[in-house]
Chains A and B, each alone.
Chain A
Amino acid sequence: MGLELLVASAIGILTAAGMYLVLRLRTFPVIMGISLLTYAVNVFLFASGRLSVSAPPILTDATVYADPLPQALVLTAIVISFGMTAVVVMIALGAYLGGDDDRVNDPIADNDASAEGRP
């Protein structure tokens, strides 16, 4: 019971913090938020094969075993999210260095046609 509570609350807190950060305006907190979300989802995927303590991750004669498939899924998810985070850091860094501004929204210059109409 203690293990379930620990894992569930860890997923919940990570997701909540991640969602909060994702809604920020600048790229750095948003990327941090996405990292937290991916950690949350990794733990979630891991738990999707049911939590078990000191059970072999392989089907043997033992009656209790840990499901090995979520572990493989998590491995894939970790690699992909790690690579994706690296990519978004590079692109965001390029945009920041080029524009001297790390906001996520569209720059004003992009909407100049519509900005002219405003007072």
Chain B
Amino acid sequence: MTHWIVLPVILPALLAPFIVLAARYHIGIQRVFSVGGIIAQIIIAAGLAWQTSDGTVLLYQLGDWAAPFGIVLVGDQLSTLMVLLTAVLAVFVLLYAIGSGWDTRGRHFHALFQFQVMGIMGAFLTGDLFNLFVFFEVLLIASYGLMIHSGGNLRLRAGVQYVLFNLIGSTLFLFALGAIYAQTGTLNMADLAQRVALITPEDTVGIRLAAVLLLLVFAIKAAVVPLHFWLPSSYAEAPAPVAALFAIMTKVGAYAIIRVYTLVFGPDVAVTDGLHSVWLLPAALVSLSIGMIGVLAARKLDRLVTFSVIGSMGMVMVTISMFTPDSITAALYYIVHSTLAAAALFLITDMARAGRANLDLTAQPTISGAALTSAMFFVAAIAMTGLPPLSGFLGKLMILQAGFDTPRAVWIWSVILISSLISIIGFSRAGAVLFWKAKSIEPSETDAPEDMIAPPSALSYVAVGGLITLLVAHTALAGPAYRYFERTSAQLFAPAAYLSTVIETPGKLSTASDKKKEEY
């Protein structure tokens, strides 16, 4: 049994209290440990991804208790991919937070950031549904703190909405877990997968209820219409680096849907038949449309970016809801792409604040450092709207291809293509007003306070540049990436290895080792 897999959770869990207790008044030490911790995470995550790349499933039994009784952490290709993505995103977000000084505008930024990373990593790695709930709460409670970092009335107000919405989501999650436990007597995902398949057709009320409730909970996290109302104001009011980190949080919802609805309520399980095709697909198409219409209708740059996040989540959900190996492959490619693109856009939005009184999409004098910022906005917008040559285009191509054979292909194709056009118009209008029309306006002395005029620091540009470089790499290496995601999705649709690893690995209380003892 390898112990490496527990480190992405343990490391931030140890670093965060250390930062709070020992380095409380020393921002320099906090920064060093925070960045060091995240870089260590990248190395560990890369190692885990490399270990699982040949199809092995890593298992960690906490306290050496065997699977249905103890909590397990499971690393397969999907989990380790998401862990790696989180770690890579976190390092650039952290660099931006340091470069822009966001981490000094309130207390405990780095500690909360580490706790947030811990929750996200745990949610990706756990193999137990109740443990998934606990890690959701860990990442949420850290995100509440980060969300209202550096205060301000609007931010607190948006924070209240965000917290309330998520508390209701958590309550729903508990109801779902109670229903699952009452019906099956287990919450371990692998064990659950085996027991759900055994339920007789006349006895499915509880488990169907639970499946729908779980889908609702994950849809809240993934901001699928009509459960998206928390997202625009909270992401727009959150500090920019926090919003950029939150780009992975919506993907936690997408990950949970992929995991639970391939493993537990798989495509061949009759009780949840029709849940995706009848309910999830239309909701996803609507959220794609609403998101892109919101991009066109937004009057502020930060709102525009949040609606593009809703749109891209809609795109991911459309792809997931087809639930074929091809569509999951495309969804994974698009998840990586849209996480990086959304994070870059949130950071660029913050850069565009330099020298502007607000982020309204009206012509105002040129912002400081406009040339580089506008170039980055241009590239990130191309990626987000899915224009060639960047990865958004390739991702969209894969999604269209995956949707070609499905019965609702007409709907999928038309909504994706039309909403892409709308988002291109929205983004080009925003870019033109922000960076182009600004040239025709004379700068006035009183427009912005003195300290706002300073251009973004070099480190900020490095952070955003890094994200954009990753997007370019994701495009250039699309072939190998696609083949990797193909193997990932094949592993998801053939869960035998996952199940046997979790259930049959011996530990304390395990039935397999009991039998061995009896033989001796």
Contact = CB atoms under 8 A, between A and B. Distances in A.
B136 to A, nearest CB: 10
B437 interface: no
Contacts of A80: 134, 137, 170
A45 B177 contact: yes
B487 interface: no
Nearest to B155: A95
Interface string B132-150: 0010010011001000100
Interface residues on B, range: 20 to 34
B171 A73 contact: no
Contact of A114 (B156, B174, B299): B299
B141 A87 contact: yes
Interface of B is mostly: helix
Contacts of B160: 27, 88, 91-92, 95, 104
Given A94-B156, A106-B157, A44 B178 contact: yes
Interface string B177-190: 11101100000000
B233 A110 contact: yes
A115 to B, nearest CB: 10
B7 interface: no
Interface of A is mostly: helix
A11 to B, nearest CB: 10
Interface in A55-104: 69-70, 73, 76-77, 80-81, 83-85, 87-88, 91-92, 94-95, 98-99, 104
Given A95-B156, A95-B157, A98-B153, A44 B167 contact: no
B334 interface: no
Contacts, number: 103
A104 B178 CA distance: 29
A108 to B, nearest CB: 11
A113 interface: yes
Contacts of B141: 83-84, 87
A41 to B, nearest CB: 4
A25 B454 CA distance: 41
B77 to A, nearest CB: 30
Given A44-B175, A113-B300, A91 B154 contact: no
A92 B157 CA distance: 7
A106 B156 contact: no
Contact of A45 (B137, B140, B163, B178): B178
A88 B164 contact: yes
Contact of A91 (B144, B178, B181): B144
A105 B165 CA distance: 12
Contact of B182 (A34, A48, A107): A48
A114 to B, nearest CB: 6
B159 interface: yes
Interface in B217-257: 233
Contacts of A98: 153, 156
Nearest to A101: B157
Contacts of A109: 154
**Interface-central residue, B151, B154, B167, B175, by most chain A CB under 10 Å:** B167
B156 A22 contact: no
B48 to A, nearest CB: 27
Contacts of A50: 182
Contacts of B182: 47-50
Interface string B94-107: 00000000000000
Q: Would you list the 5 A-B pairs with minimal beta carbon distance, nearest first? A: A95-B156, A48-B182, A113-B299, A98-B153, A48-B178
Given A84-B137, A84-B140, A88-B167, 11 more contacts: A34-B171, A44-B175, A45-B178, A49-B181, A84-B170, A88-B164, A95-B156, A95-B160, A106-B233, A107-B154, A107-B157
Interface of B: 130, 134, 137, 140-141, 144, 148, 151, 153-154, 156-161, 163-164, 167-168, 170-171, 174-175, 177-179, 181-182, 233, 299-300, 360
6 contacts: A38-B171, A41-B174, A45-B181, A87-B163, A88-B160, A106-B158
